């Protein structure tokens, strides 16, 4: 009898302690798996009560997270009342005053509505049935001990099934890591404000082994065999574009995308002749500049930059140092070499190195063959193709907001460590970590 009486308080004390210790446990670390049929990067998170593993498209530039709620059951979800303090944090909005269905994640009276979008396949809002309510619910990510750390009042949007078009199999929403006041890293930092306000990603191109996203740690970033990549970073300022995609012609709202200040490009050490005014963000239209994106598979360059870059690359590749002659390209690429003609090195195929020169001449992001060249093996061809795309003469992000001149895409980010320091607004980058004998699939996850 006595044993039975004691058991309850001991048990609840145990739960109390395990709750506290899990609450103290930053950093958080979760796998990012590349889906090869779509070239999308998919992050693992946990949502709902009880917590359920949820696969989300990693979007470095998105403002808010969204999840399909047509199939969402949770004991703890709440709607966001219109005109509440949280609703005001979310900015301009619409309100669902009355919902005549039974109460559900998609349906509540006086609830704040988001307008999600899909960065892979634009949503035709006339064709998607139903409204997209904001929700507050449990969100969790694994910590370094291998257990889940809970973020209790996580804010995100529901999205109808129609929003999932074009997303990789098994993905039920989008993870927002952008520069906004409700992105995942910011919501984590609001709960754990004594931890560093930063996150880091290391994308792996491996079909089977994931890369990693890390939240709330300045390091160490431990990779096999015993390499701390937090010590291998150069830093450049993150730049705010005042014209986000939701800007109205007369009312700009800041972009949540991460821009960096690229000032020149070199190929094999030689300067590429670029129109410099395209490299800065235009203060009247938001066009120009260089952003980083995980939802663009290959780096995109504004047409005049693309042409100058391709010319420079062809010239250096054919020079005696490389002796590479192009062959018939395979779409979507336009510059390809027979794989048999290209030597292999620790840094991938031996081709001219591309330098992205940032805010200072000595702050250079180096792109080696492993990140510039894409292997294409089909029935009759075996090629290395240059993984850069023409973004058109006048890239736009909406009818009136200009687009970036350069978008550094996912393939160029693989096996690079990137740290987004949201406190001091700077980007830490490593260039290819193959040079130090590791890769993004060699992150030391907890074994539990
Ligand atoms: C919210 O505020 C707006 C303007 O202040 C008002 O028109 C609207 O009726 C309010 N809605 C609710 C549900 O209180
Ligand atoms: C959060 O972001 C929204 C949208 O950009 C903005 O309208 C709102 O004022 C911001 N809230 C705070 C507290 O900064
Ligand atoms: C919304 O309010 C109406 C009228 O008060 C009520 O009939 C309805 O059930 C409510 N809907 C939800 C989803 O709570
Ligand atoms: C450089 O780009 C700017 C901005 O698009 C354009 O106005 C200008 O004409 C370009 N200059 C040249 C020499 O092409
Ligand atoms: C360059 O490549 C061509 C054709 O692949 C070959 O015939 C030639 O001998 C090479 N030249 C040198 C200097 O390696």
**Does residue 426 contact residue 239 with C-beta atoms inside 8 Å?**
no
Query: How far, in Å, is the centroid of ligand 1 from the Cα of 84?
Result: 10
Spatial separation of the C-alpha atoms in residues 214 and 204, rounded to whole Å: 14
Domains of the chain are 12-228 (2.40.70.10), 233-414 (2.40.70.10)
SS3 254: coil
76 lines ligand 4 (CB under 6 A): no
Ligand nearest to the CA of residue 289, numbered in listed order: 4
The set of residues, in sequence order, having a beta carbon less than 8 Å from that of 350 and lying 6+ positions away, is 322, 342, 343, 344, 369
For residue 6, the model assigns a pLDDT of 36
Spatial separation of the C-alpha atoms in residues 306 and 313, rounded to whole Å: 10
Tens digit of each residue's pLDDT (9 = 90 or more) over 139-185 = 999 999 989 999 999 999 999 999 999 999 999 999 999 999 999 99
Ligand 4 atom index nearest CA of 276: 1
Q: Which of 70, 45, 72 is nearest to 56 (CA)?
A: 45
Residues whose beta carbon lies within 6 Å of some atom of ligand 3:
98-99, 103, 107-109
CA of 21: how far to CAs of 25, 46, 138, 147, 148, in Å? 6, 19, 18, 10, 11
Mutate to test the pocket of ligand 2, among 92, 93, 181, 183 (most ligand atoms within 8 A of CB): 181
pTM score, whole prediction? 0.92
341 lines ligand 5 (CB under 6 A): yes
CA of 133: how far to CAs of 61, 127, 151, 158, in Å? 21, 17, 20, 5
Query: How far, in Å, is the centroid of ligand 1 from the Cα of 161?
Result: 29
pLDDT < 70 stretches in the chain: 1-24, 92, 447-448
For residue 126, the model assigns a pLDDT of 86
Ligand nearest to the CA of residue 79, numbered in listed order: 3
Ligand 1 atom index nearest CA of 97: 13
For atom 10 of ligand 2, the residue with the nearest CA is 89
């Amino acid at each position: 009898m006595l044993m039975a009486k004691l058991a309850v308080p001991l048990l609840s004390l145990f739960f109390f302690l395990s709750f506290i210790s899990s609450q103290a446990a930053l950093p958080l670390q979760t796998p990012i798996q590349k889906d090869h049929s779509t070239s999308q990067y998919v992050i693992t998170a946990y949502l709902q009560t009880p917590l359920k593993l949820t696969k989300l498209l990693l979007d470095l530039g998105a403002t808010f997270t969204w999840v399909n709620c047509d199939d969402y059951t949770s004991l703890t979800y709440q709607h966001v009342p219109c005109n509440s303090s949280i609703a005001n944090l979310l900015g301009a909005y619409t309100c669902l005053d009355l919902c005549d269905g039974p109460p559900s994640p998609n349906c509540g009276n006086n609830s704040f509505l988001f307008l999600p979008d899909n960065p892979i396949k634009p949503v035709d809002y006339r064709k998607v049935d139903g409204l997209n309510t904001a929700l507050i619910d449990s969100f969790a990510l694994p910590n370094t001990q291998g257990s889940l750390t809970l973020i209790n009042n996580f804010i995100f949007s529901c999205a109808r099934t129609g929003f999932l078009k074009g997303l990789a199999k098994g993905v039920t929403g989008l993870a927002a890591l952008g520069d906004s006041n409700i992105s995942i890293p910011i919501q984590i930092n609001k709960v754990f404000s004594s931890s560093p306000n930063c996150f880091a990603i290391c994308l792996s191109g491996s079909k089977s082994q994931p890369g990693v996203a890390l939240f709330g740690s300045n390091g160490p970033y431990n990779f096999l065999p015993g390499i701390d990549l937090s010590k291998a970073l150069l830093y450049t300022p993150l730049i705010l574009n005042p014209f986000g995609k939701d800007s109205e012609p007369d009312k700009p709202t800041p972009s949540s995308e991460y821009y960096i200040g690229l000032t020149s490009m070199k190929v094999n050490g030689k300067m590429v002749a670029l129109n410099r005014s395209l490299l800065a963000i235009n203060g009247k239209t938001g066009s120009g500049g260089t952003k980083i994106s995980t939802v663009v598979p290959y780096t995109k360059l504004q047409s005049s930059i693309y042409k100058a870059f391709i010319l420079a690359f062809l010239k250096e590749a054919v020079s005696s140092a490389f002796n590479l002659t192009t062959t018939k390209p395979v779409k979507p690429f336009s510059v390809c070499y027979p794989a048999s003609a290209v030597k292999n090195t620790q840094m991938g195929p031996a081709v001219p190195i591309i330098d992205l020169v940032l805010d200072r001449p000595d702050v250079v992001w180096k792109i080696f063959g492993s990140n510039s060249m894409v292997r294409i093996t089909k029935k009759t061809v075996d090629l290395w193709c240059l993984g850069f795309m023409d973004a058109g003469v006048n890239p736009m992000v909406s009818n009136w907001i200009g687009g970036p001149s350069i978008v550094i895409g996912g393939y160029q980010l693989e096996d690079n460590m990137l740290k987004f320091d949201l406190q001091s607004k700077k980007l830490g980058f490593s260039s290819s970590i193959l040079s130090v004998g590791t890769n993004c699939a060699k992150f030391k996850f907890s074994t539990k």
